[in-house]
A and B are shown apart, each in its own frame.
Chain A
Amino acid sequence: MALDVYDDIENCFAGGWSDGLPVIPPYGTLVDAMLDRLGWEPTEIIGTIEEQRIDIRAEQLAATAVMAGCKPEYAPLLRALSEALVDPNFNIGPVEVTTGGVAALVIVSGPAVEQYGFEHESNALGANNRANATVGRYAQMVRYFCGRGGGTMHSHGTMGHPGRISFCIAEHPDTIWGPFHTQFGIEADKSVVSIMSAEGPNSCNNHYAETGELVLETIADTLRHYGSTNYYYHSGRYIVVICPDHMDIIAKDFTRDEARHYLYENGRRPTTELFRVGRIHKQYMDRQQQDIVMDEMRSVVRAEERISLVEAGAPGGKFSAVIPGWVGSYKIVSRVIGG
């Protein structure tokens, strides 16, 4: 029997039913059990990608959850996550095929973090923990399986990043500034899953700063580096993940809104410098999205609200992280779990 399962895993590889890692074969009995917990009928259409003429059925999402290694107990969270993934605001097809090589970043916040056993401290952006790894993997597999027109389109990511295999952050259940989702008007006591198209994380180290402003200045410098994709289209966004030791320093001097405002005002470079290095181009000055104003400082984002802050990571180190969103989709899509 064990050899049969191994054959099935190999057949999933050979048939293109894999993200590059071994999957749990989607046997009908396992998929039915997952569907039962999800509360969906097998042929129910959960989402549509109209430009690809794709209807996404419940059984396909349930099969993907099984393949990713998710426990059926995760179903309420997976249901909310699935609805977010197929929301047109997330733009799943272009997220999959863009040259930007982005992932579907999952952020879990509120009581669900402890309820489902998510790791929110050690290696918070890449935790070796079942809930983080499999829920993050599920989101990437849905992106990969559903975003390519049933296999009729290529994924064109130039570099991609490891988050395209799995990318899930769980926020500390007890935050200093309030849960992540309160930045989007959702009540603090809710359990929420949010998604964003995301480039890979940039580590942001500062072990010696003694004021919040100096830590934020360091983070702003990471936001404004020349290579930030957001400079030209000006249509992306950022997640800033702040570690506990940095939070202790920043929160003495700044509220969350003040910290975000500081990052918005300081995450900038002069347009003259951006022209000089070729990050923006005079030929495209007239493009509606770009709003380039000569001789002024150019922010990496169009509006302050496009920077959002998450509290996660282990105490004892002073490494925060900046995660750029993809320029084709600036929205964070959130769903209340069990809502």
Chain B
Amino acid sequence: MHRFANPGQFLRLSGRVLPWLFWSGGLLTAISVAWGLLFAPADWQQGEMVRILYMHVPFAWLASAGYFSLAVCSFISLVWRHPLADLAAMEIGPVGAGLTAVCLATGSLWGKPEWGTWWVWDARLTSVFVLFLLYLGHIALVRAFDDPVRGYRAGSILALIGVINLPIVKFSVNWWNTLHQPASISLAGAPTIASSMLWPLLSSAFGFTLLFTAITVARIRAAVMERRIRSLLMARVSSSVYAADP
């Protein structure tokens, strides 16, 4: 595990995997968008509005999954002080915030015609909004210190405290009486959604997962190279200082 987490090894491995991840994710996402928009059937109750769910649900899943991976990287960063975990956590933050923002926006666009309101402070919507704030807090905290290591540590602690929100997001629709409907798909039982709607939804979720994994890996690669530039420049500055010192 540590062998693969070496920055040099990571750059080599990710360089090989990244084009496959990106192009397969992009292709599957394009197919899913066309499938959801043009070929999936309209719902007998929601009508054409059901098409929004092919975008909204994958973003909701990825927003939670993104935060979980942020917490795992933060844990590795705090326990093993691994520099790659610091960079991964820093780069997951903005992507996760974007995912959560799209989840909230598409949910509002579905809610206005279906519920008659853009927003309600019910448990599911509020906990997802808290997730968005946690992402924003992490982004701000990691970049708030002159010493990046202190920023990484503070961000990691916030990310680990925020993990408590993930089960609240997941089970809020079961624990409280919410306007948001309960899950139609669960690992424990058979889905309560027609297969003509289930497949475009799973395809969309898989496509976006590949695409955002590729985007995150590319961001971590950029961060690793930026760190290398910084250390090369620092080495040059310190060698010129020593050379000038009589």
Q: Do A and B come from one complex?
A: no
**A residues bordering B, Cβ < 8 Å?**
none
